Amino acid sequence: MKILVTGGSGLVGKAMQEISKEYSTFTFYFLSSSECDLEDYNETYQFFSNYKPDYVIHLAACVGGLYKNLANPSTMLEKNLLINSNVLRCSHEFKVKKCVSCLSTCIFPDKVNYPIDETMLHNGPPHKSNYGYAYSKRMLDIQSRAYRDQYNDNFICVIPTNIYGKHDNFHLEDAHVIPALIHKCYLAKKNKTPFVVKGSGRALRQFIYSVDLAKLLMWTVEKYTERENVALSISEKDENTIENVARIIACEFDYEFELIFDTAFSDGQYKKTCSNKKLLENIDEFDFTVIETGISQTVKWFVEHYDECRK
């Protein structure tokens, strides 16, 4: 059986490459943007025609952190709408057995009762800081549902919480919070300057290590039989403040006494707490990587690969 992984050179795609040897019954193809422009329907169709996948794990997206989302709502909306529409349309046309697409907890309503769950995705507008990206991902859920309803296609979406790990984008401005802070702390120590974190540090987030998510995606392909979305999340009790995350990173660099929070900057959405009740009801058991271990491994990888990593 052939599995096509879009976004195959990204954070989660690389994690899937790492675990793929454990799934000997599958042949994996990790598609990168340099091989096929998924914004172009003809290119996407030609690739599907050549490879003919049995399964698709759709990870490809135009993504970024808080400040990239704030600055580029139209770009985030349009690029993701094109990518998602082309991948799902081709998955249908080439009769893919199952297409698992990746959403995010950041696309949930801003004003909502916590913890959020899979049924609450469209219960109000998303936070204004990322509305372009959020609505494009909500439409990925709608389109997957439409293919299920009209054609009985097995197209579902998973909803991971904030992902981090090796092979991430460590850009200082456009990256998500953990990789951006890792890079910032690295430079602060190197230049002997304060490690400045934008915002108060009080915002709460659930983080999932990329290798954990890769394993859960394969569980979704192989063993998750429902036709509705499922959140892939750590438990609510393991939620962390940005301050705690920054302190863990600073400790990894032995630089915790130079940490400063700049409250002139926005914290973004205060919390996005997600329930993993449905996941736990469907999976036998799963040991999530604790954040201290995950950050330690990520920092080590970043330092060792500083010259060639995305930044």
Cite the active site residues: 133
For residues 245 and 295, the answer to whether their CB atoms sit within 8 Å is: yes
Give CA–CA dist 31/94, Å, rounded: 17
Give CA–CA dist 234/274, Å, rounded: 8
Q: Cα 301 vs. chain centroid, distance in angstroms?
A: 19
Give CA–CA dist 156/64, Å, rounded: 23
Q: What SS3 string covers 168-227?
A: CCCCCCCCCHHHHHHHHHHHHHHHCCCEEEECCCCCEECEEEHHHHHHHHHHHHHCCCCC
For residues 56 and 96, the answer to whether their CB atoms sit within 8 Å is: yes
The token pair at 163 is: 């992902």
Q: How far apart are the first and last CA of the chain?
A: 35
Give CA–CA dist 216/283, Å, rounded: 9
- CB atoms closer than 10 angstroms to residue 45: 16
The token pair at 3 is: 């599995």
